[in-house]
Amino acid sequence: MESENQFLNGKEELRVDEHDTPKPSENDQFEKQKEVALKVYPQRWYMLALYVLYMVCNSSQWLQYSIIPNAVTKFYGVSNWHVNLTSLVMMGCYLPLALPAASFMDRISLRWTAILGSSGTALGSCIKLFSASPGSFYVTLAGQTVVAVAQVLMLSVPQKLSSIWFGEREVSSACSIGVFGFQFGLVVGFFLPPILVSDHNDPNEIGEDLFKMFIYFAVTSSLVAVLVIFTFKAEPSLPPTLSQAKARSATKSNLKLYMRTLKRIFSQRSLLALFITTGINNGCFNGLSTLLSQIFVNYFPGQEETAGNIGVTMIVFGMTASVTYGFILDRTKKFKFLLIFIYYMSAVAMATLTILLVYCKALWAMFAGAAFVGTFLCGFTAVSFDVATELTYPESELIVGTIMNMMSLLFTFATTLTFGYINETLGYFWGNVGFVVTLVLGATCTLPIKFIHKRTIAQKMKLTEENCELIC
């Protein structure tokens, strides 16, 4: 009979025939206890795909109402402010709940995090089924709020899932694919509601269309939730990497340890600077996405539908770039170079789009500019999350991801309000210039940050019961 173990070098498999091997001595057994078996399981891709599915079900509802404002205002008899509230509630729920939720999630398994997130999305989607009648706007807002709370449990999962399930040369790629799920959900949110709901003159017909849309989201979310409940696993039997093996041996988190983690993170100036500068970049992308339609229509009047397609182009190219950057990081480990390069290129791309808007009236050039912006400004998001996890190891990936998301949302509010005000008072050109200047300043402030590759170093270390020593 052949037994198989993969040990700390992460590359070799030791095969031992039980019939030909003498019984190990007590010293041999003691040495074997010091070694930690590693294995990368094929099921990791299924777990990642399942996360992407339930993230798409959630994030696609972010723009579910704001992309069809005329139909929503006509049917429910509300103003555009109420329609915008359905999107703002997604960010509004995250900011106060993010850190408490991270503490909670760090004490439960990844499986229960996935179950709560997917079930919450399904529950919120089902609540909306009861809002397909005039005067029931606050019922639909309640459903949207439940979906928003579920999102708090989902946005920080990619870092945790990639660390728990994926090998050293795959963890960055897996994290990028996880972020891809959120971005793909935004694309679905741009496309699907206008197809399912039309702006009829008869409110009853709008109600029928809305009910069809609610059924689609409720059924899809519920099916995905069932899959998560019955098939999603918390972790593989054996850890895939040395750093994960060490993390498993650590004591479970409690409130005291959680507060110590926050203190350690926020007491390191380099980490705090990294969170702020990456939050600036991600906030600029989210702010630009929010203001994109207003900016584009200012230069191309009457092209509202084209503005939506340009937004989709930006996100699609960003998703593709995110996955590509993840593969590059896995193979090169050039975290600082890639992060700063993408940051400066984001400023160059935004400046290019600004010039095209002012001096070029060809729509194909606008799509090219949007693709350029998406490749760097949108693609930066996944890279920044993975870099933060790399530099904060062995701190909780959920806490790190939560801080990153909070910084991004804070700067999203700041950039949206600031540059929206500049657009209204000084003009759209100066608002775009503001984005460019902000990105250049953010990239420049990233240069002096110390990049210590803690997670990569941990992968090269040999674990023992008492300590870790470098493999020669």
| Region(s) of the chain under CATH 1.20.1250.20 | 41-240, 267-472
Exposure of 399 in the CB half-sphere (CA atoms within 13 A): 23
Higher pLDDT, 103 or 465: 103
pLDDT at position 145 is 94
The percent of residues above 90 in pLDDT, for the chain, comes to: 22
pTM as predicted: 0.68
Give the domain 267-472 fold. Answer: Growth Hormone; Chain: A; (1.20.1250)
DSSP state of 152: H
Q: Extract the tokens encoding 108.
A: 């439960």
Partners of 463 in beta bridges: 468
- For residue range 229-242, list pLDDT tens digits in order: 999 998 888 888 77
Whether the CB-CB separation of 353 and 418 falls below 8 Å is answered with no
- For residue range 24-37, list pLDDT tens digits in order: 444 444 344 445 68
What span, in angstroms and rounded, lies between the C-alpha atoms of 308 and 338? 30
Whether the CB-CB separation of 26 and 226 falls below 8 Å is answered with no
- For residue range 179-204, list pLDDT tens digits in order: 778 878 888 887 788 788 887 888 88
* Confidence check: pLDDT of 40 > 60: yes
pLDDT band at 20 (very low <50, low <70, confident <90, very high): very low
Which runs of consecutive H residues, i.e. helices, occur in 131-170? 137-152, 157-165
- For residue range 86-108, list pLDDT tens digits in order: 877 877 787 788 777 777 777 78
Partners of 5 in beta bridges: 14
Q: Choose the most confident range, by mean pLDDT, from 68-77, 161-170, 359-368.
A: 359-368
Helix (H, G, I), strand (E, B) or coil at 248: helix
* Confidence check: pLDDT of 211 > 90: yes
* Confidence check: pLDDT of 469 > 50: no
pLDDT at position 17 is 42
pLDDT band at 421 (very low <50, low <70, confident <90, very high): confident
pLDDT band at 121 (very low <50, low <70, confident <90, very high): very high
* Confidence check: pLDDT of 167 > 60: yes
Higher pLDDT, 460 or 426: 426
Chain centroid to CA 345: 21
The percent of residues above 70 in pLDDT, for the chain, comes to: 83
Partners of 461 in beta bridges: 470
Higher pLDDT, 426 or 32: 426
Q: What is the 3-state secondary structure (H, E, C) of 190-223?
A: HHHHHHHCCCCCCHHHHHHHHHHHHHHHHHHHHH
To which residue do tokens 């509202």 refer?
304
pLDDT band at 226 (very low <50, low <70, confident <90, very high): very high
Which secondary-structure segment (H or E) carries 447?
Answer: none
> Per-residue DSSP letters for 249-286?
HSPPP-HHHHHHHHHHHHT-HHHHHHHHHHHHHHHHHH
Cis peptide before 100 (omega within 30 of 0): no
To the question of domain 41-240 being in CATH 1.20.1250.20, the answer is yes
Nearest to 384 by CA among 286, 281, 454, 456: 281
Q: For residues 348-368, give the mean pLDDT.
A: 90
Exposure of 195 in the CB half-sphere (CA atoms within 13 A): 6
Q: For residues 152-169, give the mean pLDDT.
A: 82
* Confidence check: pLDDT of 281 > 80: yes
Range from 127-136, 315-324, 445-454 carrying the lowest mean pLDDT: 445-454
